[in-house]
Structure 1
């Protein structure tokens, strides 16, 4: 099992979770964070730190968030590690409770564009 960042993180990107992770398994994209399932040690310390309640243990994922298992695994291979907290996105509070945000997920990191 691993922990999974879900849709609630999109366009918020709070990083409170990152600062408590003992193994640096978070990866940062333009408007979303993911957890590398290969690096996650299943400690769960990140879950209560997320202001958007976006992190779930894989076994407890809501049915409508199941796709995020594959999204986290795939994007963790593409995005750089983040191991220190940063300011959330400027309009994070406006997006924190919005549902149906998958369409806003930006996958292309500026650092990796050719």
Structure 2
């Protein structure tokens, strides 16, 4: 499992999550930040610092935001 950055990041793109990630698994894309689901250790540090509450544990993703997990997977496959 992993944490996922959702659509709310597209408007904000604040970046506090990058600074607190102990495994450096968050990268900035053109439209938002992304968490590498294969590297994320599920610590939750990013979730607590997000000013717009755009980060959710994979199993707790709101309906309509599930596609952001696949979007992150594609981002890290193409980088």
With structure 1 as the length reference, what TM-score do the two structures score?
A: 0.66
Q: How many residue pairs end up in the alignment?
A: 79
Question: Whole-Å Cα distance in 2 between the matches of residues 41 and 25 of structure 1?
Answer: 9
With structure 2 as the length reference, what TM-score do the two structures score?
A: 0.93
Question: Whole-Å Cα distance in 1 between the matches of residues 29 and 11 of structure 2?
Answer: 10
The CA deviation at 1:61 is 0.3
Name stretches of at least 5 consecutive residues in structure 2 with no aligned partner.
Answer: none
Of the two, which has the highest radius of gyration? 1
2:14 — aligned with what?
A: 14
The CA deviation at 1:76 is 2.4
Name stretches of at least 5 consecutive residues in structure 1 with no aligned partner.
Answer: 80-114
Structure with greater strand share of residues: 2
| Mapped contact 1:12–1:31 kept (Cα < 8 A) | no
Q: Where in structure 1 do 4 or more consecutive aligned residues deviate above 3 Å?
A: none
The CA deviation at 1:31 is 2.7
